[in-house]
Structure 1
Amino acid sequence: MVWGIDKSMIDSESVIYSVGVGSNIDFDLELIDSLGVTVHAFDPTPEA
């Protein structure tokens, strides 16, 4: 998968709120691994 994001606007002090993650958190993990950000992930569905 490919995601577009302007990394110049995010640094290791950024906090990301990811809503509707479902069962795929690859994007969130990549943000943590590559940028060192804090991610708070939320999904209201029972499967998540």
Structure 2
Amino acid sequence: MIELKKHYSITKKKANLFMKSGNLNAYLEALKEMHRYKKLMVAVTNN
């Protein structure tokens, strides 16, 4: 769970940087990755 939180926060920081720099494709990919980690965290907490 700690690993997932770490990956999620790193990806969130990257997404913010991409958004600020105007790199939309990279920003959307980072959002998809954040969503994937969020789903994994929910699955881990439910089990």
* Alignment TM-score > 0.5, same fold: no
TM-score by length of 1: 0.35
TM-score by length of 2: 0.36
> Higher helix proportion, which one?
2
> Higher strand proportion, which one?
1
